[in-house]
């Protein structure tokens, strides 16, 4: 039987737990609408959360799928790194279940605090859809104001793996990327399999309309398959009118860049493979919306 339940989680923060009849489950904290767990029917945990993650309702949860909006990085110092979405209290805006999936939606819109940092009217909707064979997460950005705004948006997914030194990411060949560690780029990725043998921070610019299929592999084993997509919608709740290329970020800090809430050797247990609109500036017209979606297949 599918279910959706609100409870008190770590640090006294509220969370939603989705359970599917197949045994699959997911957990999403209302703090930042941060998904912190996705277990498939075998019980395998597909998402990494740092053992030192802080659940205090002040700091972004280290791990899971933090949501990045309206900025990627911190070009605007008036806003936190990666924007305010992941350090805001979201509301549960809906639950839905049918024979195939159980879903929850979460909402965040502009308020006095966000407008003080970023003077635009917006609404975010985060959809989490759990089914027997996959987890779909969709971040929808809506311009509810009367003037266009520039933004970036991304799902900062921490994929759990046994050892980052042994995995590679497939699906990025021929995409142009900026290497934020070396400063090189943009250069074209020549490899079918991109390994992550050291501190890695790369922004791959989407080049293809439609889905970007990526997989995290270790020899013959595929740990995760991910389908990234981005779409423009003519109205906040309207059907997508046009697909757009989805960018992908690959990150692992290794020991040298591990932040305090990610004490080594925790870096070994994940690779971040992140769908978003971050490789260039994006503008959203009033009354329009854009989706950044990932389908995670364990
Ligand atoms: O997605 C990669 C990245 O932008 C890196 O540059 C690094 O800053 C990482 O995000 C983590 O950022 P955070 O603010 O969560 O420590």
Q: Which residues, 6 or more positions from 214, have their beta carbon under 8 angstroms from its beta carbon?
A: 169, 170, 171, 172, 225, 226, 227, 228, 248, 273
Q: Dump pLDDT digits (tens) for 1-13.
A: 788 999 999 999 9
Q: What span, in angstroms and rounded, lies between the C-alpha atoms of 191 and 194? A: 6
Q: What is the mean pLDDT of residues 257-261?
A: 98
pTM above 0.95, yes or no: yes
Is the per-residue pLDDT at 237 higher than 90? no
Q: What span, in angstroms and rounded, lies between the C-alpha atoms of 40 and 19? A: 10
- Is residue 161 lining ligand 1, measured as CB closer than 6 Å? no
Give pLDDT, residue 2. 84
Banded model confidence at residue 110, pLDDT cuts 50, 70, 90: very high
Banded model confidence at residue 80, pLDDT cuts 50, 70, 90: very high
Q: What is the mean pLDDT of residues 49-77?
A: 98
More confident residue, 233 or 227: 227
Is the per-residue pLDDT at 239 higher than 80? no
Q: Dump pLDDT digits (tens) for 164-193.
A: 999 999 999 999 999 999 999 999 999 999
Q: What is the mean pLDDT of the chain?
A: 96
Is the per-residue pLDDT at 34 higher than 80? yes
Is the per-residue pLDDT at 236 higher than 90? no
Q: What span, in angstroms and rounded, lies between the C-alpha atoms of 26 and 47? A: 10
Report residue 95 as tokens.
């639950």
Q: How far is the CA of 4 from the centre of ligand 1 (A)?
A: 31
Q: What angle do CA 85, 119, 155 make, to 5 degrees?
A: 25
Q: How far is the CA of 276 from the centre of ligand 1 (A)?
A: 13
Banded model confidence at residue 153, pLDDT cuts 50, 70, 90: very high
Work out whether the CA dihedral 182, 185, 190, 191 comes out positive or negative. positive
Banded model confidence at residue 233, pLDDT cuts 50, 70, 90: confident
Q: Do the Cβ atoms of 290 and 284 come closer than 8 Å?
A: yes
Could you identify the atom of ligand 1 that is nearest to the CA of residue 156? Answer: 1
Give pLDDT, residue 161. 98
Could you give phi then psi for residue 259, rounded to 5 degrees? Answer: -75, 170
Could you identify the atom of ligand 1 that is nearest to the CA of residue 274? Answer: 1
Give pLDDT, residue 116. 95
- Annotate 143-159 with DSSP letters as a single string: E-SSS-EEEEEEE--EE
Residue of 251, 266, 270 best suited for mutating to test ligand 1, as the one with most atoms within 8 Å of CB? 251
Could you identify the atom of ligand 1 that is nearest to the CA of residue 66? Answer: 15
Give pLDDT, residue 275. 98
Give pLDDT, residue 189. 97
Q: What is the 3-state secondary structure (H, E, C) of 85-124?
A: HHHCECEEEEEEECCCEEEEEEEEECCHHHHHHCCCCEEE
């Amino acid at each position: 039987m599918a279910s959706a339940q609100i409870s008190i989680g770590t640090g006294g923060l509220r969370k939603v737990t989705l359970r599917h009849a197949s045994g699959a489950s997911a957990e999403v904290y209302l703090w930042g609408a941060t998904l912190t767990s996705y277990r498939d029917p075998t019980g395998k945990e597909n998402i990494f959360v740092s053992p030192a993650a802080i659940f205090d309702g002040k700091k972004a949860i280290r791990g899971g799928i933090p949501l990045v909006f309206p900025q990627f990085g911190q070009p605007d110092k008036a806003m936190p790194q990666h924007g305010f979405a992941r350090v805001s209290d979201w509301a549960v805006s809906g639950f839905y279940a049918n024979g195939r999936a159980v879903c929850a939606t979460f909402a965040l819109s502009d308020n006095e605090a966000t407008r003080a940092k970023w003077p635009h009217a917006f609404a975010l909707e985060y959809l989490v859809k759990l089914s027997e064979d996959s987890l779909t997460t969709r971040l929808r950005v809506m311009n509810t104001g009367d003037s266009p705004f520039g933004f970036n948006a991304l799902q900062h997914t921490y994929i759990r793996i046994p050892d980052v030194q042994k995995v590679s990411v497939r699906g990025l060949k021929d995409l142009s990327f900026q290497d934020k560690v070396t400063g090189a780029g943009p250069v074209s990725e020549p490899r079918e399999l991109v390994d992550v043998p050291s501190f890695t921070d790369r922004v791959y610019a989407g080049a293809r309309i439609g889905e970007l299929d990526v997989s995290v592999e270790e020899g013959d084993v595929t740990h995760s398959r991910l389908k990234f997509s981005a779409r423009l919608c003519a109205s906040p709740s309207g059907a997508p009118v046009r697909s757009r290329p989805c960018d992908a970020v690959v990150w692992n800090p290794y020991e040298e860049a591990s932040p305090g809430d990610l004490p080594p050797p925790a870096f070994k247990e994940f690779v971040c493979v992140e769908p978003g609109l971050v490789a260039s500036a994006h503008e959203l017209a009033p009354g329009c919306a854009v989706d950044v979606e990932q389908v995670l297949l364990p």
